[in-house]
Amino acid sequence: MLDVALKLVNEIDKRIQPIIGWENAGKTVKIGADGTPTKMIDIIAENIAINVLEKYGGILLSEEIGLKVLGDEINYIYILDPIDGTYNALKNIPVYSTSVGIIKIKEEDKKILKNKDIKFIEKYLYKNYSINDVYLGVVKSLATKDKEVFYAIKNKGAYLIKGDEKIKLSVSKVNELKKASVGLFVYGLSNELLDMLKDRLFRRIRLFGSISLEMCFVANKALDAYINLNESARLFDIAGSYIICKESNAKITDKNGKELNLPISISSKTSLIIANEELHKKLLPIFSNKWAIKPLSFGFVVREDSKEAINLAKDLINYLKSKNIPCYVKENIKNLINEEKINIKKISHIVAIGGDGTILRAARIANGEPIPIISINMGKLGFLAEFDKENAKEAINKVIKGDYEIERRIKLDTIINSKKLPSALNEVVIITKNPAKILHFEIYVNDTLVDDLRADGLIISTPTGSTAYSLSAGGPIVEPTNNNFIITPICPFKLNFRPLVLSCRNIIKVRLKSNKPALIAVDGIVEEEIKKDDIVMFKKSDEYTYFVKGKNFYEKLKNIFLN
């Protein structure tokens, strides 16, 4: 059927070109089967396709006509988008295409479907066929000079035909967000898109307006990823390019990480995240409202000096193993709990049982990877903990079922003389190396001098850390999901210097003016010594820490302060 699909896209290409720029091509003539306005150019392209496919027979699903039986034989299902990127075609913007995905109808179904009415066929296809039954896909660019054709046959690879060349396709190996070029399809400025633009999360963002081509650009390494957050990707748009991406080894899910299983229906729509396996893992937690991936295995980080915490960990591990879910443990408790050591590449979730110190260790183990932390309080305050020991098993069950939310927290990077320290979830503290000695700082925000400060030390805190050391030093409480940093002095010499809250998009620099050396502590761990005139730079990390959401933040505040 590849020759039929190629004939289809080539015929549309040949006959559609003369009407590009024609003033009536953009006239709205009706509302299509999918509920969107149909332009004259769409009708013309669809009729060209029908004339080609009637010779071969089958069932056509197309965005304008809906479902139509062609010819006498029902051997194939054709899922067609005659013009993907209609607006671009009308405005002569050179990014539009024709896309078709083809499914073989099972032998037993041919008899069932023959001579049946449209409503019966619609219901039958919806129940018995999905996008994963597409075995052949072809997408042709209708505007480029070489008229590239992308195609794939299930289990036989994906290819690009460009002139006389035939090139095997495979996805990009770029796995760092800052190096990734990403295609987007969005309606309106969503919060997610605004965050990406503000944070400069990716190397570049492209919005082309032709889903099928953009998916093929991922298969061809022209883009490192493609993201559709609006759940507006229709079956017509993606059926052909879906198999092309799959055969080029792309990972394709909806924005919540679920594998696509779109039923064959004119109403089928989805969100999309498409990239290589490693980049997909990093994209998923940025956009998903719920972490819907089935957990593969759990790593346990446990307060080792607490018998109660160790016993709870053993109980939870036995429970998970009864469900055939592997468990791993931090090496410091391996002699207490006989399980294999944590390997960051093997675990999907971390269970942290203890106080805030234990949870911070878990965050450091995750090291920016999209691994959610299930934080269970077995300490005293437990500001970072989302669950108590009484509802620990309930939290685990929700994770197993995929019925839970993720809360993403920003982190803070510290750079000293080009050396990057571990990222901080709570705070970075500059303190004197010699007790009872005051330090002298110059504080800059985006290279503007903010203050000349003498104090016992200085805290640069994230919103998560606003309720930790910063709070004790007189800093404000900030919601942990905010995008801010807090500069809090420790016992300042001048009483008029107050804690400063600023956007995390700012770059903070601190110059040590004292002759006395100072220490840099990241989340309570001393990492580096600095001396006079050293400059310490602070900026928002590219990494995040992810928590399985439990307690309400304000309820947590109320309970802790009342206690």
CATH number at 342 reads 3.40.50.10330
Residues 422 and 400 in one domain: no
Q: Is residue 36 part of a domain?
A: yes
Give the CATH number, domain containing residue 509: 2.60.200.30
Q: Which one-letter amino acid corresponds to residue 235?
A: L
Q: How many other C-beta atoms are found inside a 10 Å radius of the C-beta of residue 229? A: 20
pLDDT at 290: 47
Residues 105 and 71 in one domain: yes
- Of 354, 378, 404, the domain-final residue: 404
Residues 307 and 425 in one domain: no
Q: Is residue 149 part of a domain?
A: no
Residues 420 and 388 in one domain: no
What DSSP string describes 236-284?
HHHHHHHHHHHHTT-EEE-TTSPBP--BSSTT-EEEEEEE-HHHHHHHH
Alpha-carbon distances of 61 from 35, 157, 180, 236, 387, rounded to whole Å: 14, 25, 35, 8, 49
Eight-class DSSP state of 405: B
Q: Is residue 384 part of a domain?
A: yes
pLDDT at 193: 61
The list of the chain residues with pLDDT below 70 reads 29-35, 37, 186-199, 288-295, 379, 381, 560-563
CA dihedral over 255, 258, 264, 267, signed as positive or negative = negative
pLDDT at 199: 67
Q: Is residue 50 part of a domain?
A: yes
Residues 137 and 87 in one domain: yes
Cα 405 from Cα 291, distance rounded (Å): 6
**Number of domains within the chain:** 4
Q: Is residue 376 part of a domain?
A: yes
Residues 476 and 349 in one domain: no
Cα 550 from Cα 547, distance rounded (Å): 9
Residues 259 and 380 in one domain: no
Residues 182 and 303 in one domain: no
pLDDT tens-digit readout, 179-235 = 999 998 766 555 556 666 666 778 888 888 899 999 999 999 999 999 998 788 999
Contact 400, 378 (CB under 8 A): no
Residues 8 and 138 in one domain: yes
Segment (H or E) for 519: strand 518-522
Strand pairing of 165-168 and 181-185?
unpaired
Residues 218 and 105 in one domain: no
- Of 233, 261, 287, the domain-final residue: 287
| Domain span including residue 233 | 177-287
pLDDT at 422: 94
Give the CATH number, domain containing residue 238: 3.40.190.80
Q: Is residue 556 part of a domain?
A: no
Residues 225 and 129 in one domain: no
Q: Which one-letter amino acid corresponds to residue 263?
A: P
From the list 80, 97, 101, the residue with the least C-alpha distance to 32 is: 80
Contact 15, 52 (CB under 8 A): no
Rg (CA), the chain: 29
Give the CATH number, domain containing residue 83: 3.30.540.10
- Of 404, 435, 454, the domain-final residue: 404
pLDDT at 114: 87
Catalytic residues: 356
Q: How many other C-beta atoms are found inside a 10 Å radius of the C-beta of residue 194? A: 10
Q: Is residue 516 part of a domain?
A: yes
Residues 224 and 276 in one domain: yes
Q: Is residue 344 part of a domain?
A: yes
Cα 110 from Cα 94, distance rounded (Å): 40
pLDDT at 295: 60
pLDDT at 360: 94
